[in-house]
Amino acid sequence: MKKQNILVTGANGQIGSDLIPELKKIYGDSHVIATDISEKPNAETPFEVLDVLDAKAINSVFKKYQITQVYHLASLLSAKSELNPRHAWNVNINGLFNIMDNCVENKISKLFWPSSIAVFGPNSPKIDTPQFTTMDPDTVYGISKLAGERWCHHYHFSKSLDVRSLRYPGVISYKHEPGGGTTDYAVDIYFKAVQEGRYECYLTEDTILPMMYIPDAIKATIQLMESPSHSLGLRSGYNIAGMSFAPEDLAKEILNYIPDFKVIYRPDFRQRLADTWPESVNDQFAKADWNWQPEYDIKSMTEDMIKNVRMLTPV
């Protein structure tokens, strides 16, 4: 079998930080090339500084490492996108074009691109949101993710690009600090609970959103990418469900570990974004096409998060 060389963009972000070690286990350390707009201390190796808006630079990194597969994770998340719409469109869409065109030119065998539950909008059904339904996102991020999904579908059928995508719910992890999303409260709350015993939440206590613990998100990503192409009926983004909860549910779980934990609720501009997203999604296509099944619920995730955040917190 031909050796695979995997390129990851946005490698320093939340998904990249957990995905790269798993890819290295499969393909070998020197075959996973981490890239990002800047290098951080203790960056994964091999590492290249790469701006996804620079199509020529993408081409030369593809050639330098003889890349065969790409995980294009570089993106601006919802809260940051709302504050800088043009930049978000540029990175999220023109960056995607640059990657897809280079994938076609360099005959890349597979491309992964992350979509989001933000593709849904205020008129989408809120509960058990189907794969195919009304989609009228009115957030900057959601608009770019829905457009990106349509372009993925288009490149698959017009240029035979083997592109695969997931609509990630809010992803919860401890290796990486929250990076400008709306669902990030569900990461931050654990750190503040352990470190300060108190958290100020920017969403109301009863805002239910679809969420997923990082091991499930990584498992879904790799499982989708390892599936045979012919089994995949969707080239836009698969709905994947993990769990659904509101800030008050998470606070209740954390109280089992930190009994005097206090949360105060001060909704800000992110509330509007969350209000337009589903509470839960229907993932029947992911289950049918590639046997998707999550492992973690709010209880098992909280046990693991508290344990790991405590280990990361100096006493």
At closest approach, how far in Å is the CB of 181 from ligand AKB?
3
- Cα gap 143→284, rounded to integer Å: 24
201 binds ligand AKB (CB under 6 A): no
Please, which residue, 110 or 145, has the CB nearer to ligand AKB? 145
Q: Of residues 145-184, which lie at the interface with ligand AKB (CB under 6 A)?
A: 168, 170, 181-183
Residues 118-137 that bind ligand AKB (CB under 6 A): 118
* Least distance to ligand AKB, CB of residue 92, Å: 11
Looking at the Cβ atoms of 5 and 12, the one nearer to ligand AKB is: 12
Site string for ligand AKB, 60-79 (x = CB under 6 A): -----------------xx-
Comparing CA positions, the residue from 116, 115, 102 lying closest to residue 70 is 102
Q: Is 116 in the site for ligand AKB (CB under 6 A)?
A: yes
β-strand pairing of 110-116 with 69-72: parallel
Rounded CA separation 290/79 (Å): 31
Q: Is the peptide bond before 137 cis (omega within 30 degrees of 0)?
A: no
Min separation Cβ 256 and ligand AKB, Å: 25
Which residue in 182, 172, 184 sits closest to 306, CA to CA? 172
Mark whether 265 is an active-site residue: no
Q: Does 144 bind ligand AKB (CB under 6 A)?
A: no
Does the protein bind ligand AKB through residue 92 (CB under 6 A)? Answer: no
Radius of gyration in angstroms for the set of CA atoms belonging to the chain, rounded to a whole number: 19
**Measured distance CA(229)–CA(181) in Å, rounded:** 31
Name the nearest CA neighbour of 120 among 179, 167, 170, 83: 167
Residue 103 to residue 59: CA distance in whole angstroms? 9
Q: Is 292 in the site for ligand AKB (CB under 6 A)?
A: no
Candidates 43-51, 112-120, 200-208, 212-220 — which segment interacts with ligand AKB by CB under 6 A?
Answer: 112-120
- Min CB(273)–ligand AKB separation in Å: 7
Please say which residue, 182 or 239, places its beta carbon nearer to ligand AKB.
182
Rounded Cα gap, residues 8 and 48, in angstroms: 10
Query: Which pair of tokens denotes residue 182?
Result: 């709306």
Q: Which residues bind ligand AKB (CB under 6 A)?
A: 77-78, 116-118, 141, 168, 170, 181-183
Active site residues: 141
